[in-house]
Structure 1
Amino acid sequence: MQTDLETRIRDSFARQGLMTTLGATVVSVGPGTVEIRVPVTAAASQQQGYAHGAVAFAIGDSAAGYAAVTVLAPGDDVVTSDMTIHYLAPGTGEALIARGQVVKPGRRMLVTQADVYAVTEGAERHIARLTGTMVRIPAPNSR
C-alpha cells in the first residue's frame, strides 16, 4: 500500500514529460530519499552506444529533487537552483538507477545529491554523482 507521500511523489512524477519519454519509473520513495530507474535504449544513447550523459543527469536531478520534496509540507514543491555532475564511468548495461537524497534541508534551500548506477545482469556500477541545491516553492495557498 502506498503512503500519502509516495502517492504525492508518483503523481507528480507522472506529469514529467521527459521522464515519460525516457521510460523512467519511480522505484522507491522514503523520507529524504527517492530512487528512479530508466532503461538504457538506443534512443537514449550517445555515439559510442553508452547511455547519454544527459539521461544520467536527468534522472539524477529528478531523484534529488523528489528526495527534497519528501521532506516538505504537502503542496510545497522545488525547482533546481544548481546541479553539478561528476561522470565516473560510461553508462553501459540494461538500465540506470539514480538514488537521490537530502544532504541538508533548509526552510528555503535544500542541499541534495544523487548517485547514478549502471545495471548489468543485476550488478551495479557507480557511474555518476550529482550534488546540487533545490529551492522550495511554497504551496499556492501559503505564498
Structure 2
Amino acid sequence: MAKSGDLDADITRHITDSFSRQGLMTHLGASIAELRRGFCALHLPYRAELTQQHGYFHAGATSALVDTAGGYAGMSTYSARDSVLTVDFTVNLLAPAIGDVLVAEATVIKSGRTLTVCRLEGFNVNAGSRTHVATGRQTLIRLIDTADTE
C-alpha cells in the first residue's frame, strides 16, 4: 500500500487483510494505493486480459474496482470488528478507459450507524495524464461485530 493516513493500526490491518482475501481483486491485479478515514484509492495496471473488444478496460473491471474502493472507504469509518456489504451502486461510464493504470477513488459522503453512502470515481492514467472515466454512488450496509472472513 502506498500511503495510509489517519487510521489506527487495527482498522488498517483489518482492511488490508480483507483486501488480500478478495479473490477478484487478486485475479485482476488491483492494489490499495491510499487509505485513510473515509477514503480509499485502488490501482489496476493495464493488461490485455482486462479489456473489452476495443482494447479499453472492461466496464466490469471498472465497476468492480470502484465498488471495492467504496467498500473499503466505508469500512474505514467503522471498527475493526465490523464489515460491510454493498447494498446498491450505480456507475456512469464517462469516457473510454485506456492507458497505463485504472484508478478508483471512493469517498464517504455519509457514514451512519447502519448505512454508508459513498461517491465513486474512476480515472484513467496514461503517460502521466489523468482522465475522469467513471462516476457513481454506492450504499453500504454495516455488519456490526461480523467478521468478513466467512
1:17 aligns with 2:23: yes
Letter in 1 for 2:40: V
Q: What are the superposed Cα offsets for residues 2-53 of structure 1, whole Å, 9 maximum, x if unpaired?
A: 6333222111100000000000000011000011000121101001110001
1:100 aligns with 2:97: no
Aligned to 2:85: 79
**Which whole-Å CA distance do the structure 2 matches of 1:21 and 1:81 have between them?**
23
Q: CA RMSD in A?
A: 1.5
TM value normalised by structure 2:
0.90
Q: Please state whether the residue corresponding to 1:60 is helix, strand or coil.
A: helix
Unaligned runs of 5+ in 1: none
Q: What are the superposed Cα offsets for residues 42-80 of structure 1, whole Å, 9 maximum, x if unpaired?
A: 101001110001111001000011000000012101000
Aligned to 1:43: 49
Percent identity, aligned pairs only, is 35
Q: What are the superposed Cα offsets for residues 61-100 of structure 1, whole Å, 9 maximum, x if unpaired?
A: 0001100000001210100000000100001101100011
1:122 aligns with 2:91: no
Aligned to 1:91: 97
TM value normalised by structure 1:
0.94
Unaligned runs of 5+ in 2: none
In 1, are the aligned partners of 2:98 and 2:124 still within 8 Å (CA)? yes
Letter in 1 for 2:71: G
